[in-house]
RNA sequence: GUGAGUGUAGCUCAAUGGUUAGAGCACUGGACUGUGGCUCCAGGUGUUGGGGGUUCGAGUCCCCUCACUCACCCCA
C-alpha cells in the first residue's frame, strides 16, 4: 500500500486504456458533428437547487448520493451527478431558446455520485452526452437513437439491445399510477420491504425490482403504454413506426422506469450482456417540462448520455489496444553525437515527426533495445564515424535493413515516409 | 447504507502453525568493446494491506481497521 491513494471510487486513467477512451470520444464527436450537434461545456459544479429541482427531491441521487458542500460564501453547491440539468440551466440562462430550434449540444466530462463502487460504477464517472432542445416531433427521438447506433456500430460493438418505453406525461401518468396501485393493492403484502415503501411514494419503481418474488407477483400488471393520452400515444406510435422504417432493432420494455423526475414520454436504454449488473452503456429520454421548470418558455427536449467506462470496458474485450509508437529513435555514441541528436530531434519534431532520443551513457545495444521496446520504426545512429563523414546510419527495425543518409537530408528522408 | 469474497514482488500466482518467503512475466545490466527481437547469466524484486491478540513460534488461527472485487440498493 502506497502512502497516498486515489479516493475510493475514483480512478486514474492512463495508457494503454486511455487509448480506448480516446477512440470512444473521437468516434462519438465525429458522429455528433454529422448530426449538427455542437459542443457545450458547462461547469461541473452548480447550485444544489438545480439538481434538486430537476432530479427530484425523493430520488436516491438527491437524498444520499450527491457531493454537496457549502462553499466559502455559504452557498450550497454540488458536483454534478448528471449532465442534463446544467445544460438546461445554461440554455435558459443564456436565452438560447431565442435561437432557431432545435438547439443541439453535446458535452463530455466527469459526473459525481457518492455510491458504493462496483463493476461499471464509480464515484467519478464520465459521460458523453447530447441534448436537443426545442422540438417535440418524434423524428428527433428517432434521430438520436440512430445516432447512438451509428456510434456503437462504428466502434464495432456487438450484442447491444435498444430498449424503449414511454412513461407518458403529467396528464396521463397519474391515471396509470392509479391503475397500477389498484392492481397491486391486494398483493402488496407479498412484496419486499423496498417495494412496500415504493408503493407509497413511487409505485412505478416496483416494476424495476429484481427480486424474484416481486417479479412474479407483478406479472400481468397494467402497462403504461395502454394508458397514454392521445398526444403521448401518437408520439410513441410515430416514433416506433419511424424506427421500423429505418430498420432500427428496438424492443419495448414496459418495465423500464426512469429514476429522475424530469422524464416524459420517450425513455430508452442501451444495454450489453457482457457487462455486470450495471449493464446500461447509454440511456436517455425526453424531458418536455424541464426548461419551463427552470424558468424558460415551454420547450420540449430530448437527450441521452453514454457511459465512458462501460463502453471502454466493452471495447477492451473486442479491440486490441493500439499503442502509438515513435517514428524515429536517435541512438548516439559520445558527447558530441548526443549534442547533435538534440538538434536533429528538434528539427524532426518541428516537422510533426515523433522522435525519441537515447539518454545518459547507455551502450548502443541498450539504446537499440529501448528503441525496440518503444516499437520505433527507425533508428538513427550517430557515432564518431558518422560525425566525421556527415552521414548518419539509419536502421529500419521491422526488417533490420539499414543505410546511410547525409545529416542535411535527414528531414527529407523521413518526410517522405 | 447492507451482504459476501479477496488482500504475498511492478503484474499473474505458490508456500501443512516451524529455518533467512518462492516461481514465471516484466524491469536493469552483461555474455556480444558500435547494432534490437532469440538464448543464457547476474541483479532491486517484499514493512506478506495496517494494527492488536493467541502461541515457544503467525504469510498461515482470532479480533479490529483499511482497501479492492462482486452483488444488493440506485442509475445517464
How far apart CA A328 and CA A278 sit, in angstroms, is: 44
The average pLDDT across A125-138 equals 96
- Arithmetic mean of pLDDT over chain A: 90
CB A80 within 8 A of CB A66: no
CA of A385 to C1' of B34 (A): 10
CA of A5 to C1' of B27 (A): 23
The average pLDDT across A218-247 equals 92
The average pLDDT across A151-163 equals 93
H or E element in which residue A266 lies? strand A264-272
The average pLDDT across A316-340 equals 87
The nt closest to A125 (CA vs C1′) is B76
pLDDT at A246: 96
How far apart CA A146 and CA A137 sit, in angstroms, is: 15
- Of the listed ranges A54-63, A137-146, A305-314, the least confidently predicted one is A54-63
CA of A334 to C1' of B29 (A): 19
Residue A108 has pLDDT above 90, yes or no: yes
CA of A4 to C1' of B56 (A): 39
Q: In this complex, which residue's CA is closest to the C1' atom of nucleotide B68?
A: A8
pLDDT in tens, A202-229: 788 788 777 777 777 788 888 888 999 9
How far apart CA A104 and CA A101 sit, in angstroms, is: 8
Q: How confident is the model at residue A263 (pLDDT cuts 50, 70, 90)?
A: confident
pLDDT at A184: 82
Q: In this complex, which residue's CA is closest to the C1' atom of nucleotide B35?
A: A365
Q: Smallest Cα–Cα separation from A82: which of A313, A263, A298, A292? A: A263
Fold match between A17-172+228-318 and A328-416?
Answer: no
pLDDT at A26: 96
- Of the listed ranges A3-7, A67-71, A288-292, A337-341, the least confidently predicted one is A3-7
CB A211 within 8 A of CB A196: no
The average pLDDT across A97-125 equals 93
CA of A355 to C1' of B45 (A): 32
CA of A372 to C1' of B32 (A): 17
Q: In this complex, which residue's CA is closest to the C1' atom of nucleotide B29?
A: A366
Domain ranges of chain A: 17-172+228-318, 328-416
Q: If you average pLDDT over each of A94-103, A114-123, A207-216, which comes out highest?
A: A94-103
Question: What's domain A328-416's superfamily in CATH?
Answer: Anticodon-binding domain (3.40.50.800)
pLDDT in tens, A366-392: 889 889 888 899 999 999 889 999 999
CA of A2 to C1' of B44 (A): 18
CB A281 within 8 A of CB A270: yes
CA of A257 to C1' of B21 (A): 55
pTM for the structure as a whole: 0.90
The two beta strands, A45-47 and A76-79, are antiparallel
Q: What is the largest CA-CA distance in chain A?
A: 97
CA of A335 to C1' of B37 (A): 28
Can you give the three-state secondary structure of A303-332, one letter per residue? EEEEEHHHHHHHHHHHCCCCCCCCCEEEEE
**b (16+ CB within 10 A) / e for A72-85:** eeeeebbbbbbbbb
How far apart CA A288 and CA A170 sit, in angstroms, is: 10
The average pLDDT across A19-30 equals 94
Strand B nucleotides within a 7 Å radius of protein CB atoms: 1-3, 27-30, 32-37, 49-50, 67-76
The average pLDDT across A136-141 equals 96
Residue A401 has pLDDT above 80, yes or no: yes
Which architecture characterizes domain A17-172+228-318 according to CATH? Answer: 2-Layer Sandwich (3.30)
> Which pairs from A25-34 meet CB under 8 Å and 24+ separation?
A25/A108, A25/A128, A25/A308, A27/A151, A27/A154, A27/A155, A28/A106, A28/A108, A28/A128, A28/A151, A28/A306, A29/A106, A29/A128, A31/A147, A31/A150, A31/A151, A31/A154, A32/A106, A32/A130, A32/A147
The nt closest to A310 (CA vs C1′) is B76
The nt closest to A209 (CA vs C1′) is B73
Please tell me whether residue A88 adopts helix, strand or coil conformation: helix
CA of A315 to C1' of B13 (A): 27
The average pLDDT across A300-327 equals 89
Please tell me whether residue A205 adopts helix, strand or coil conformation: helix
The nt closest to A369 (CA vs C1′) is B36
The nt closest to A386 (CA vs C1′) is B34
The average pLDDT across A275-283 equals 88
How far apart CA A162 and CA A252 sit, in angstroms, is: 8
pLDDT in tens, A402-417: 999 999 999 999 987 7
The nt closest to A269 (CA vs C1′) is B76
Share of chain A above pLDDT 70, in %: 99
Residue A1 has pLDDT above 60, yes or no: no
Q: Name which residue leads in pLDDT, A7 or A198.
A: A7
How far apart CA A101 and CA A152 sit, in angstroms, is: 27
Q: Computed over its alpha carbons, how large is the radius of gyration of chain A? A: 28
* Helix %, strand %, coil % of chain A (to 5): 40, 20, 35
Strand partners, A405: A392
Q: In this complex, which residue's CA is closest to the C1' atom of nucleotide B66?
A: A1
pLDDT in tens, A70-81: 999 999 999 999
pLDDT at A182: 86
pLDDT at A118: 87
Amino acid at each position: 500500500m502506497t502512502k497516498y491513494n486515489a479516493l475510493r471510487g475514483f480512478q486514474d486513467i492512463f495508457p494503454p486504456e486511455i487509448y480506448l477512451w480516446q477512440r470512444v470520444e473521437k468516434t462519438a464527436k465525429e458522429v455528433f458533428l454529422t448530426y449538427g450537434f455542437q459542443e457545450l461545456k458547462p461547469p461541473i459544479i452548480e447550485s444544489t437547487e438545480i439538481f434538486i429541482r430537476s432530479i427530484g427531491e425523493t430520488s436516491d441521487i438527491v437524498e444520499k448520493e450527491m457531493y454537496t458542500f457549502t462553499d466559502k460564501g455559504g452557498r450550497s453547491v454540488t458536483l454534478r451527478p448528471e449532465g442534463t440539468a446544467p445544460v438546461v440551466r445554461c440554455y435558459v440562462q443564456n436565452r438560447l431558446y431565442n435561437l432557431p430550434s432545435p438547439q443541439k449540444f453535446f458535452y463530455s466530462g466527469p459526473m459525481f455520485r457518492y455510491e458504493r463502487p462496483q463493476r461499471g460504477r464509480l464515484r467519478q464517472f464520465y459521460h458523453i452526452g447530447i441534448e436537443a432542445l426545442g422540438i417535440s416531433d418524434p423524428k428527433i427521438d428517432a434521430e438520436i437513437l440512430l445516432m447512438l447506433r451509428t456510434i456503437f456500430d462504428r466502434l464495432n460493438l456487438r450484442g447491444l439491445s435498444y430498449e424503449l418505453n414511454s412513461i407518458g406525461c403529467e396528464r396521463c401518468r397519474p391515471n396509470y399510477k392509479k391503475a397500477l396501485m389498484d392492481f397491486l393493492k391486494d398483493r402488496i403484502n407479498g412484496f419486499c420491504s423496498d417495494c412496500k415503501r415504493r408503493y407509497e411514494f413511487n409505485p412505478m419503481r416496483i416494476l424495476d425490482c429484481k427480486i424474484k418474488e416481486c417479479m412474479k407477483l407483478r406479472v400481468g400488471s397494467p402497462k403504461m403504454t395502454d394508458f397514454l393520452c392521445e398526444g403521448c400515444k401518437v408520439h410513441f406510435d410515430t416514433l416506433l413506426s419511424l424506427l421500423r422504417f429505418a430498420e432500427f432493432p428496438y424492443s419495448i420494455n414496459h418495465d423500464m422506469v426512469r429514476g429522475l423526475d424530469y422524464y416524459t414520454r420517450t425513455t430508452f436504454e442501451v444495454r450489453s450482456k457482457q457487462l455486470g449488473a450495471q449493464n446500461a452503456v447509454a440511456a436517455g429520454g425526453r424531458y418536455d417540462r424541464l426548461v419551463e421548470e427552470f424558468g424558460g418558455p415551454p420547450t420540449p427536449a430530448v437527450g441521452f448520455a453514454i457511459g465512458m467506462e462501460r463502453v471502454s470496458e466493452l471495447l477492451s474485450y473486442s479491440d486490441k489496444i493500439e499503442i502509438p509508437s515513435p517514428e524515429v529513435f536517435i541512438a548516439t555514441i559520445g558527447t558530441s553525437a548526443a549534442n547533435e541528436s538534440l538538434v536533429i530531434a528538434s528539427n524532426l519534431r518541428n516537422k510533426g515527426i515523433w522522435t525519441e532520443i537515447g539518454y545518459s551513457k547507455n551502450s548502443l545495444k541498450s539504446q537499440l533495445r529501448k528503441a525496440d521496446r518503444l516499437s520505433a520504426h527507425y533508428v538513427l545512429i550517430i557515432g564518431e564515424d558518422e560525425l566525421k563523414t556527415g552521414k548518419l546510419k539509419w536502421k529500419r527495425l521491422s526488417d533490420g535493413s539499414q543505410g546511410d543518409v547525409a545529416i542535411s537530408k535527414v528531414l527529407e528522408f523521413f518526410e517522405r515516409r
